[in-house]
Amino acid sequence: MVSASWLLLLGLCFSASAGGEQRGGGKPSEPRRLQSGGDEERHVLERTELSKRSAALNEQTCTALSGVEAALLNNTNTFTFKVRTMGSLSLAWVGDGSGVLLVLTTFQVPLFMMRFGQSNLYRSEDYGKTFQDVTHLINHTFIQTEFGIAISPDQSGKVILTGDVSDIGGFRLFRSQDFGLTFVSNDLPFEPLIQMLYNPGDCNTLLTLSITSELWLSEDFGATWRKIHDSVLTSLSSCLDDKGMLELRKTVDYGRSFQTIATRVYSFVLGGRFVFASIMTGMGTERMIHVSVDGGELWNMAQLPTVNHEQFYSILAANQDMIFMHVDDPGDSGVGTIYVSDDRGTVFSKSLERHLYTTTGSDTDFTAIASLRGVYMTSVLTEDDAVETVITYDQGAKWETLHRPQNSHCSTDTCRLHIHASYSTTMRMNVPMLPLSQPNAVGLILAHGSVGDAESALSPDVYVSDDGGYTWLLALRGPHHYAILDSGGLLVAMEHSNSPVNQIKFSTDEGQCWHTYNFTNDPLHFSGMDSEPGSRSMNVSLWGYRNDFSKWVVITVDFRKLLTRDCNEGDYVQWLAHSADPSGSNDGCVLGYKETFLRLRKDSVCWNGRDYAVTKKLSPCPCTVDDYHCDFGYYRPANSSECVEQEEMKGRPLEFCLNGTTEQLQTMTAFSHSHKAPFSVIVPHSFLQI
């Protein structure tokens, strides 16, 4: 059954900043934009082999692949767009495995300057090798960058473009249900503020906001619209007088009726099955978190510190069973504390102190590693004000620093690897890409990093981990753009440079050895790399422009002919995840079970294929102290397994309110002051400040 439930934050003022409380990563389905000028025994054997090969990289022991030039030269396609490089390009893949890529030229200039301009639309059916100019399908309409291309999340081929129509002074919707092959249009009865939003459960149902704070809904894929509410907020940035005076309302019948489920609301977010609302306490500017697991019918007070108007809460990650919550420290310190919840979302354990989350840069390095269960990375600010990367392998129960890569030249005992993420980009360091991992490329992580006693200000290098962050390898010198193809069977990278480039690098052994291919004789000012989402494709598109800066150029390289055979059973080996001590009987046991995967051998040069599926075996195992989160009122210091009582909680009864009743917290485990962590995998949530 399709859910018709919507949660809306309603108030008396409205901000023109769409998606206002989102911080950090953007929407997963948001189209990519390019700017002109933008900058077991077998397991033990594999680890030993990796160590030897890693140490020998500087000795040039990698063997060249035969026939690279011939295989790739005949599968490299160049397309030059007729439009100039002013404005930006929005790229959007339509469907899963369809090969359809839409490219739209958009603009961020005042409308009066572009009243008689137009956007250009191009369509490819072969993964970006060739394009057709289909601008006539949108009647040469001008489309603003903030509207871009709206692709339905159900992979059904639905596409929406929102255009400004100069001759009528209004807005027109262009709708496609056949992967952008054809479009039908209709004029809108309002001026939209944000891109059209799909209901994930029924993509024929759309929602959007107008510039006059009205909420509009369509149940027939945008053909007809009706206004369902006034005074709707997406952001509080310009509503200072009304913070804490808002109401949270819910509709379960697509806006035909509304129910008020919370008052004195400062803000709210959804995370998994939880609804979190930041509620004013009535004591000055203090507010606290209330949580509901039934859509707002019943609320409980979360056991988290209160914050004032200078502080914030932020959901870092969420799923159906638990939440990672950042609570900002008082003052302008730029740090806070990460708490993890129980499965009720009410009782929280202190997970990590001095977590770096700047209010000025509004960015955090918190990264969910998609390639291995339970793994997260982030940065802390040490007592001597150095930025340091820490990692957890058990959903926040214990954090530790990263060890230096085995093939690095740093030999001091305090030498560690620091991973560059959002904070580094905020500080305008030379970091063109954030850490990258994919669920179907088990254990694999690519990231920019620096090795030293603290964060190095020098140009970072690219590091690779093939075991979910336990060990790291220096893979490429200097900053690069990179992508995972063929479920990890192929990695590609492009040097990040201000000069024109003509060389792409690729690896068939998870980043241990890299090969090069000259994809053009006419170097390109490189703007970005793009491949189909899901990391199953064998095609990568390189975008940029020539020396005359006049027109966009895309060069697509198809690596399928390089891998001359399909992978077979003999190409895969068993690999035990989280293996740190192969001689121990409990090796690989995390959160109550072991996971053994079938992974591609590093010396196998073959094609996993689009239908490749991760194969794993689960084995229950005894829990250890590291499988437990510290109880409320206790915390585990970094690099320690012991739960220590928080200073501010000493002598206080450990009570909390649940369903209107005061409950006493009890420790009922063999491990003092701790409780078992939820077992399920957490997926990353957009960083949402509340």
pLDDT digits (tens, 9 = 90+) for 206-239: 999 999 999 999 999 999 999 999 988 765 444 5
CA–CA distance, 189 with 180 (Å, rounded to integer)? 24
* Contact (Cβ atoms closer than 8 angstroms) between residue 602 and residue 575: no
Residue 232 in any domain: the answer is yes
Residue 65 in any domain: the answer is no
> In 10 A of CB 516, how many CB atoms?
12
Give pTM, 2 decimals.
Answer: 0.86
Q: What is the pLDDT of residue 41?
A: 31
| Burial tier of 611 (Cβ tally within 10 Å: 0-12, 13-18, 19+) | exposed
Residue 104 in any domain: the answer is yes
Q: What is the pLDDT of residue 144?
A: 83
The range of the structural domain enclosing residue 633 comes to 627-676
> In 10 A of CB 530, how many CB atoms?
23
* Contact (Cβ atoms closer than 8 angstroms) between residue 401 and residue 429: no
CA–CA distance, 519 with 332 (Å, rounded to integer)? 49
CA–CA distance, 654 with 421 (Å, rounded to integer)? 37
Residue 300 in any domain: the answer is no
Q: Which two tokens stand for residue 446?
A: 């690519």
Q: What is the pLDDT of residue 580?
A: 80
Q: Report how many domains make up the chain.
A: 2
Per the document, the length of the chain is 690
What letter does residue 28 receive in the DSSP assignment?
A: T
CA–CA distance, 674 with 630 (Å, rounded to integer)? 4
* Contact (Cβ atoms closer than 8 angstroms) between residue 135 and residue 141: no
Among 238, 257, 290, identify where a domain stops: 238
Secondary structure (3-state) at 195 = coil
Residue 165 in any domain: the answer is yes
| Burial tier of 639 (Cβ tally within 10 Å: 0-12, 13-18, 19+) | exposed
pLDDT digits (tens, 9 = 90+) for 498-522: 999 999 999 999 999 999 999 999 9
Among 222, 238, 254, identify where a domain stops: 238
CA–CA distance, 520 with 79 (Å, rounded to integer)? 12
Q: What is the pLDDT of residue 6?
A: 59
Among 238, 258, 284, identify where a domain stops: 238
Residue 90 in any domain: the answer is yes
* Contact (Cβ atoms closer than 8 angstroms) between residue 505 and residue 475: no
Q: Which of 321, 311, 223, 209 is nearest to 274 (CA)?
A: 321
- Token pair 């159900």 is found at 154
Percent of the chain having pLDDT more than 90?
Answer: 56
β-pairing verdict for 674-676 and 683-689: unpaired
Write a three-state SS string for 256-307: CCCEEEEEEEEEEEEECCEEEEEEECCCCCCEEEEEECCCCCCCEECCCCCE
Residue 537 in any domain: the answer is no
Which DSSP string do the residues of 500-522 spell out, in sequence order?
A: -B-EEEEESSTTSS-EEEE--SS
What letter does residue 566 receive in the DSSP assignment?
A: B
DSSP H stretches of helix in 166-277 = none
CA–CA distance, 41 with 47 (Å, rounded to integer)? 10
Q: What is the pLDDT of residue 2?
A: 44
Distances (CA, A) of 549 to 32, 35, 83, 553, 593: 21, 12, 11, 10, 56
* Contact (Cβ atoms closer than 8 angstroms) between residue 593 and residue 618: yes
CA–CA distance, 538 with 128 (Å, rounded to integer)? 12
> In 10 A of CB 617, how many CB atoms?
11
Torsion of CA 417, 422, 425, 429, to 10 degrees: -10
Angle at 684 between CA 362 and CA 636, to 5 degrees: 80
* Contact (Cβ atoms closer than 8 angstroms) between residue 77 and residue 555: yes
Rounded to 5 degrees, what are φ and ψ at 33?
-120, 135
- 639-644 long-range contacts, Cβ below 8 Å, gap at least 24? 639/399, 639/400, 639/401, 640/398, 641/398, 643/671, 643/672, 643/673, 643/674
425-462: b or e for each residue (b if 16 or more CB lie within 10 Å)? bbeebbbbbbbbbbbbbbbbbbbbbbbbeebbeeebbb
- Enumerate residue ranges in the chain where pLDDT < 70: 1-60, 83-87, 108-117, 166-168, 234-243, 360-362, 411-413, 453-458, 549, 626-629, 632, 636, 638-641, 648-689
Rounded to 5 degrees, what are φ and ψ at 653?
-70, 140
**The CATH number of the domain where 191 resides is what?**
2.130.10.10
Residue 244 in any domain: the answer is no
536-567: b or e for each residue (b if 16 or more CB lie within 10 Å)? bbbbbbbbbbbeeeeebbbbbbbbeebbeeeb
Rounded to 5 degrees, what are φ and ψ at 505?
-110, 145
